[in-house]
Amino acid sequence: MFCVKKNPQYTFDSFLAVKDTLDDLDNPFLVEVLSNLSKEDWGEMHRRLQPFANKLSTSWRATVNEIARPENHPKLRQYDAYNRRIDRIVRPAEALKLTEEVFGEGLFSMKQLTYEGIMKRYLLHGNGEAGITCPVACTDGLIELIEAFYEEVPNEVKEIHTHAKEGIDGNFAIGAQFMSEIQGGSNIPANLLEAVPMDTHYLLYGNKFFCSAVHADYSVVTAKIEGTENIAVFVVPSYLPGDKEKELRNGYRINRLKWKLGTSELPSGEIDYEGAVAYRIGPEDRGVALAVGIVLTRSRLDIGFASAAFVMRAAREAKLYARFRHVFDRTIDGFPMAAAQLEELEGAAKRMTATAFHLYKMFLEQDDYDELQQFALRELILLQKIYAAKELSIIYGWQYPFSAGMVQ
Ligand SMILES: Cc1cc2nc3c(=O)[nH]c(=O)nc-3n(C[C@H](O)[C@H](O)[C@H](O)COP(=O)(O)OP(=O)(O)OC[C@H]3O[C@@H](n4cnc5c(N)ncnc54)[C@H](O)[C@@H]3O)c2cc1C
């Protein structure tokens, strides 16, 4: 009789025993980069980063693995049992808890040391996007945008700023940014979403076609002001005060969630606005400059950090695996060409990490630069984003993603 031979003795246990206790801060190169940046604050910074790194390398990592499973991806429930339109984004309990815990860290709070928030965000990226880091980057953009015009925004927007930055009763707001429309994502000046002026605010009418973090509390939205060619930028609450409990959205419907190959834990939707209350931020005709200069510049920096952290984790785990796995007569790292590949991976991780933090330091110090240097820095941020994403895609063996998502 034909008998299938199995090898029940084969186990990955010794690899997993090491991998599962890998602490992302137990990394001499990273520690050198971070300590150089924080200088005299390093002692206190390390005391704050260590428990964060412990959590994300253990319980959060296990949660992230769980919510990445296809059966746990977000879903859209448009109606409740009584035929009321709710457009609820249904996410697993693990994702809700993780979101609450990460945002509860108050990454943008004034209580953080300089660089603390960004160091924690770099560490967070080591766990993948996980439905977390895109909303974190968007919240950063939301806060920065409001701060640029803080003195002139209405009280409702000041309240949104507090909610996102310092939290209200322990609850921290999540931000999103909706700019892409079906006729062209890169081309924000071609936006057709219409903003109709009212006394103290605007009402939005039209469609946004790629809205990630659609579960957010507030979004930064670009739209054309009625009867003009001016694109302005707005902050739009997902619910008006008192309506969240009733699941009554602020004058918009979520038509569907995108089916995506990557970042599937992150709900990305298509939205129809039917009179959503929106608060304009900044001048009527500066929306594109503000969206790119403030909001997207921060997202670009974040893509540099994300690419670096992905490669760092991949390099560390690949090295461990190559030390564990036997092929022919030796472990993988015993083959010179494989060892060279691992070295290359580690080199890329270090290069990308050091560059991302260096650029961020320049970004924070840019007030000391002249106009030309500031322009050069903006270019550098854009180039670094493109190059880091390209390097990441080569390392992971993906085709360079020329298509969607690359232009911003
Ligand atoms: C996973 C994911 C999440 C996203 N989340 C959001 C979101 O939350 N909010 C949001 O607003 N958008 C979001 N988007 C949309 C994304 O930002 C757009 O896809 C992007 O701006 C590109 O727009 P497009 O796909 O319409 O491509 P197009 O604008 O049609 O461009 C297609 C290609 O044409 C070329 N091209 C376009 N313009 C130029 C130019 N000026 N110079 C040279 N070449 C050019 C590029 O190769 C480009 O990649 C998301 C996309 C993805 C994939």
Question: Left, alpha or beta for 128 (phi > 0: left; psi -120 to 50: alpha)?
Answer: left
Query: What pLDDT, on the 0 to 100 scale, is given for residue 395?
Result: 75
Neighbours of 197 (CB within 10 A): 14
- What is the total residue count of the chain? 408
Give the mean model confidence (pLDDT) for residues 387-392: 89
Task: Give the E-state strand segments of 316-381 in sequence order.
Answer: 326-327, 330-331
Q: Sorting pLDDT into bands at 50, 70 and 90, what band is 1?
A: low
φ, ψ at 275 (rounded to 5°):
105, 35
- Pick the atom of ligand 1 nearest to 408's CA: 21
Query: What pLDDT, on the 0 to 100 scale, is given for residue 406?
Result: 36
Q: How far is the CA of 300 from the centre of ligand 1 (A)?
A: 13
Give the mean model confidence (pLDDT) for residues 140-160: 98
Query: What pLDDT, on the 0 to 100 scale, is given for residue 185?
Result: 87
Q: How far is the CA of 186 from the centre of ligand 1 (A)?
A: 5
DSSP-assigned letter for residue 239: S
Q: Are strands 194-197 and 218-225 parallel, antiparallel or unpaired?
A: parallel
As a whole number, the mean pLDDT across the chain is 94
- Pick the atom of ligand 1 nearest to 403's CA: 49
Find the radius of gyration of the CA atoms of the chain: 23
Residues flanking ligand 1, CB < 6 Å: 177-180, 184-187, 210-212, 260, 263, 268, 402-408
Each residue of 303-351: pLDDT tens digit?
999 999 999 999 999 999 999 999 999 999 999 999 999 999 999 999 9
Give the DSSP letter string of 264-300.
TTS-EEEEEEEEEEEEEES-TT-HHHHIIIIIIHHHH
Q: Determine contact, residues 294/175, Cβ cutoff 8 Å.
A: no
Tokens of 76: 């859209």
Spatial distance between the Cα atoms of 280 and 66, rounded to a whole number of angstroms:
39
- Pick the atom of ligand 1 nearest to 184's CA: 26
Each residue of 36-82: pLDDT tens digit?
999 999 999 999 999 999 999 999 999 999 999 999 999 999 999 99
Each residue of 239-294: pLDDT tens digit?
999 999 999 999 999 999 999 988 999 999 999 999 999 999 999 999 999 999 99
401 pLDDT exceeds 80? no
Q: Which residues pair with 272 in a beta bridge?
A: 207, 253
